[in-house]
Structure 1
């Protein structure tokens, strides 16, 4: 199996009916997995045990082999063995969970000014002392770092390579597309100190190379990196990585929570699978970490005006500005091949995504005399991309729907468009993953930060990139500044200061984003440094209400701490009145400097009068001159979360075997992988099928002889629960020799890598 998954989240309907008219799908007998198959799993223990006790517990089964014993990140160990032996571990009283090893991926200056009003004088604390992150250690778990980069030499403080098991965390320099630059880019946003300046330029970067060639790594490697960071006693830990699994119980999320308990402020990206809800991925689901979504810094966005209609263009990273002083004709350029661009001279070329790289399309158009290129998506929704090298004409992206409409107009007759520019900032990036978190119903992300067109260090130079990977290190750098200003602050205080002072963002329509889309909002570091009040927790979840309960009351508690130098008065404003919901807020009170008070907030709901499945908003605390918003959320009944997510398929650990992984947030009454002929949609059978599957990660090996004959197939991965069925679709190609070709990305989510 490849070391990376292609994550697919397309939720499409096959003609809205059964694949073959008049025919129902019959389920085969449940396949039995061979007990001889070996897997690697993370075993989580209920209580701390030393290595000797763990080995004594496992050595009774000679077919189980301990790989790593974790002492800090989690209470547990990783082990390799047969499926049947791994299952036997679950029967042991000391074992809390046995979870298959997952694969994690990297998520892929004006922006620094945006998060805190920084000017030439820099950041200052309440005592007017300059803040640069000096004395604060920031761990970066990523693809390594080019510590020879002139902008990072001063900041680099050593590290560890958890891929090659040494102390040299240098970025992968392999050729053939396996080289990496992500960790160097992330480190530069945090603490570059040279030609460009990071958020905390004098912080010390400790690099942990947990993701190897191609930018992928396993749960074992990432947890080992967290373990080492705890040993190294870093102050802040950044993880710009993740998968598409929206679950709070994966080992890496648990390990991050443990790191926070050890005093480390953990920051992680929420994922690049937006804009739909329920797309935030692990470890962005970790309850105690700061999960970060992506917003836009100040950008000049081009719009086309076609017969009075406005169409937004998204410039590719590396493109020159899109500026035309007169109307220009748009012509269809097919997929951007040279032979399809004969009519491109002096015009804007509209081409479809696919078959060629973005750069190849742009170069072909340039050579054909085109003035600009618009690439429209070949799957639903918008996309963001990068040019591999500079091209002297502008290149922009468009959604599939808009692109197909323009193509139709261009074919019907001459199509002319005029360009105008609108300046935008503080808009959520479309790709930024949204919450809530399944099972715990928590608000994630917690905050957002700039993650579009972020210029930073890479091996050998500089490059603008985008993704929540770029947003998270802005927050990690901000945490380093806050830690320098307040050395005794705990992680929850640092997290609360950023959330309590964040700026709620407004969408294109002038409406506020939902709390589970932006958390508390975009961070404002300057305000966080000056805040006189901290509220913990900084967001509230009131749980899940069942309709059968006529009236349900729920209480949440917050601790309000006066961190100013003077007495302060506090009072809550009553939330907006909504039918079926009543609130009981605390009475007004005062606190002396350093004093704190725990107060109760009561909420009662009559489910028969409330229609929405998800209800969210903000409570408002008046703290002297400050107005602090506290995001809250509750869900009614079984909300409309995806019943299946995070599907990946690749080669198994043994010859003639394939392995898939999938995450079932609430389990499934029925689960399967149905195969259809790609052209006729004729049902070809099940690759796998099961009933009554428990919630969480499911991993299964499939023998090659279960594959259908050679050809291209549509695979529908489905799960049913509580009367709702969801599915993911992907194409699988079986070669003439019977081998399965690794699937290509489909849909508008191509994993977490977003360079």
Structure 2
């Protein structure tokens, strides 16, 4: 099944509401501590009323209903909440929210729109090792059926063999208040089925169908927790504002209702591969998530797909108690085309454009200009054009080559890592075929030009890729407004193979694809130890994650962000499974600060020994990297500044003190360590610092990521607020940040 990608014109129409919300909620970043812009009419379709909790819930709800009847008789109660939130969702139909400020009301906020954020990954995160340790056979029916997972997404196709072959059924509930529903109320879309497959897909061998082609699996594949109980909470059942291919948009009040229902249904863990722009300092959905975790339901959420700068973690991934997941490259990629010449056989990525089937053999030519963005000077008749990625859309390059007579195009990636699927920009669709080579393979091709190459798209092949490269789209912390250390952990989110609607499979990318790896890992950990608390599970995952150099920087910009990009590191389920010592919190921020006064910040964390014998731990603090200087990364938007780490001589760690360098934890005991940052002077400049507190407890070494951010009074702290599009470092549109599975268009 081939996913339908929207044209740019369709895309622009689809995100009108989302872009409007950006302006309503003041998503540009101003000086530290600044309040969101309140200069709006406060008119909206739905509002969430939160009560102050001073009156018993049933009484408060009854009193407020009576007040509404007298003071706002036109208001319609869409939802009531009494578990993760004490409040109601009110349908306003464009009237002012100010009219809802009745007795006992703590706050009134607009219900915001959220979108779905768009094999080899299981052994990459060592989940299969834990299966063996637990004696769980992934081929068994219901291998992890004792754990309940709620998937709050676009619905699950429970007729897909990857979903149905290892469980009796999937429960389904629908939450929808939209008025633009063009499909059936229980309509299912690819996104949720893909997410569910990653979490708990059934053990599969042999071959799978991708876009009508058969891909032979090099190894068996399954979800991270095969056979786990899947519960479908569909909050995207109709065509709202957003992407038709992925179910449109969902209001926050519907998502809150799904979260509340999941808690009442006794879900062990919920997955939210969805997101929207930061919601300001008072995010009702994030508060509901935090309450759900306090009640015992673990929440795993995508960090967002608006990376390339600080402060881009969206809502609800900003929730303090959630496990917020960044995306990194997988251990494999899939391609559908081979490019052969001179004894070389290179693999190229297909996308939205026509492919070379049947195969094409022709001489090759570079273009002038090399990026193909302006009319090409060469006569390309009967030639295959090799064009560099960048500066304009893929479609523009291909159309320009076609205008000069080319029979096909090979785009050469200008970014490190694997080639990516290419998307159409919505203009005139080129008729000639086009594929992409990686930067390294493209360099090999260029040495052969103008020789003959044969390009063949008749089959599918799977090739190795470089794992653990932080995806350029993956959102970077800290959280806006409160500067919390996020994300928490990284998982595979690039070229993830899983199930889609109609019995086929597809490779998707996005933090949407990373989060379900962690959700599956949570299920596996709880299967091994059902008594683990949400806080212990989070520590096990975050503080025992893998580290390597690839995880330290953003692949688009090359900037080192450390924990602000990868959290604790890349998920390692086996290391998390073996954890005996837990930290609370699992990570921490030393805050966001303005200059002009001595810089002092403090916090604390607690180490807990879950074992039966005493453990001694040495505790130390480190910084991750040497500093950089400030610079502007986006030449087309000079106001968007990348902030740089401070030039502290010897690193920021010299200004951080711990209350102790060692602790002894009795069996079942705990100890609290205080952390203080004191520069001892007023600081100037703007920047951030990052690092770890390491607790070496013998067989269990924990790394607690920390961060802090600073700006001088004279400047504004600027970050790229998520907009309708994800831009690359050249200012070009890559894809819509609300649809992670969308391919790049340039």
Offset of residue 79 of structure 1 = 1.3
**What secondary structure is seen at the aligned counterpart in 2 of 1:201?**
coil
**What secondary structure is seen at the aligned counterpart in 1 of 2:289?**
helix
- Aligned CA distance change for structure 1 residues 398 and 424 (closer, same or farther; 3 Å): closer
Question: What are the Cα deviations for residues 95-118 of structure 1, in whole angstroms up to 9, with x where unaligned?
Answer: 222111211111111111111162
**What does residue range 310-321 of structure 1 map to in structure 2 within 5 Å?**
315-316=349-350
Q: Partner residue of 2:323? A: 290
Offset of residue 640 of structure 1 = 5.2
**What does residue range 468-479 of structure 1 map to in structure 2 within 5 Å?**
468-479=511-522
Distance 2:516 2:121 in 1: 12
- Aligned CA distance change for structure 1 residues 269 and 508 (closer, same or farther; 3 Å): closer
Corresponding position: 1:208 with 2:233: yes
1:528 corresponds to which of 567, 576, 592: 576
Q: Partner residue of 1:567? A: 614
1:39 corresponds to which of 34, 40, 45: 45
Corresponding position: 1:463 with 2:499: no
Q: Partner residue of 1:67? A: 78
Q: Partner residue of 2:596? A: 548
Corresponding position: 1:492 with 2:566: no
Asked whether the 8 Å contact 2:364–2:383 carries over to 1, the reply is: no
Offset of residue 265 of structure 1 = 0.6
Asked whether the 8 Å contact 1:383–1:748 carries over to 2, the reply is: no
Q: Partner residue of 1:218? A: 251
Specify every segment of 5 or more residues in structure 2 that has no aligned partner in the other structure, as ranges: 1-12, 24-37, 205-220, 239-243, 336-345, 425-430, 455-462, 554-558, 624-649, 742-746
Question: What are the Cα deviations for residues 321-372 of structure 1, in whole angstroms up to 9, with x where unaligned?
Answer: 9xx999953336957999999535244356889788699979979x954373
Distance 1:362 1:435 in 2: 39
Q: Partner residue of 1:343? A: 381
Question: What are the Cα deviations for residues 635-694 of structure 1, in whole angstroms up to 9, with x where unaligned?
Answer: 224685447845679xxxxxxxxxxxxxxxxxxxxxxxxxxxxxxxxxxxxxxxxxxxxx
Question: What are the Cα deviations for residues 607-648 of structure 1, in whole angstroms up to 9, with x where unaligned?
Answer: 525654322211111111332211112222468544784567
TM-score after normalising by structure 1? 0.69
Asked whether the 8 Å contact 1:152–1:194 carries over to 2, the reply is: no
Offset of residue 528 of structure 1 = 0.4
**What secondary structure is seen at the aligned counterpart in 2 of 1:233?**
coil
Distance 2:385 2:592 in 1: 56
CA RMSD of aligned residues (A): 4.9
**What does residue range 678-693 of structure 1 map to in structure 2 within 5 Å?**
none
Distance 1:341 1:193 in 2: 52
Corresponding position: 1:435 with 2:477: yes
Corresponding position: 1:252 with 2:262: no
Distance 1:118 1:487 in 2: 19
Asked whether the 8 Å contact 2:127–2:521 carries over to 1, the reply is: no
1:633 corresponds to which of 670, 685, 707: 707
Asked whether the 8 Å contact 1:159–1:207 carries over to 2, the reply is: yes
- Aligned CA distance change for structure 1 residues 608 and 108 (closer, same or farther; 3 Å): same
Larger strand percent: 1
**What secondary structure is seen at the aligned counterpart in 2 of 1:469?**
helix
**What secondary structure is seen at the aligned counterpart in 2 of 1:616?**
strand
Asked whether the 8 Å contact 1:9–1:646 carries over to 2, the reply is: no
**What secondary structure is seen at the aligned counterpart in 1 of 2:592?**
strand
Asked whether the 8 Å contact 1:7–1:751 carries over to 2, the reply is: no
Distance 1:583 1:111 in 2: 39
- Aligned CA distance change for structure 1 residues 551 and 108 (closer, same or farther; 3 Å): closer
Asked whether the 8 Å contact 2:603–2:674 carries over to 1, the reply is: yes
Distance 1:362 1:422 in 2: 32
Question: What are the Cα deviations for residues 509-558 of structure 1, in whole angstroms up to 9, with x where unaligned?
Answer: 98964211111111100110011211110101122334333352x33221
Q: Partner residue of 1:599? A: 673
Offset of residue 573 of structure 1 = 1.9
1:104 corresponds to which of 86, 106, 114: 114
TM-score after normalising by structure 2? 0.70
Q: Partner residue of 1:372? A: 410
Asked whether the 8 Å contact 2:127–2:224 carries over to 1, the reply is: no
Distance 2:665 2:288 in 1: 36
**What secondary structure is seen at the aligned counterpart in 2 of 1:424?**
coil
1:537 corresponds to which of 585, 593, 611: 585
**What secondary structure is seen at the aligned counterpart in 1 of 2:740?**
coil
Question: What are the Cα deviations for residues 276-299 of structure 1, in whole angstroms up to 9, with x where unaligned?
Answer: 221111111111111111001224
Q: Partner residue of 2:90? A: 79
**What secondary structure is seen at the aligned counterpart in 1 of 2:408?**
coil
- Aligned CA distance change for structure 1 residues 559 and 430 (closer, same or farther; 3 Å): same
Specify every segment of 5 or more residues in structure 1 that has no aligned partner in the other structure, as ranges: 12-29, 166-170, 303-311, 650-727, 730-744
- Aligned CA distance change for structure 1 residues 527 and 99 (closer, same or farther; 3 Å): same
Which stretch has the larger CA shift, 438-447 or 50-59? 50-59
Asked whether the 8 Å contact 1:246–1:285 carries over to 2, the reply is: no
Distance 2:199 2:708 in 1: 35
Distance 2:151 2:401 in 1: 36
**What secondary structure is seen at the aligned counterpart in 2 of 1:151?**
helix
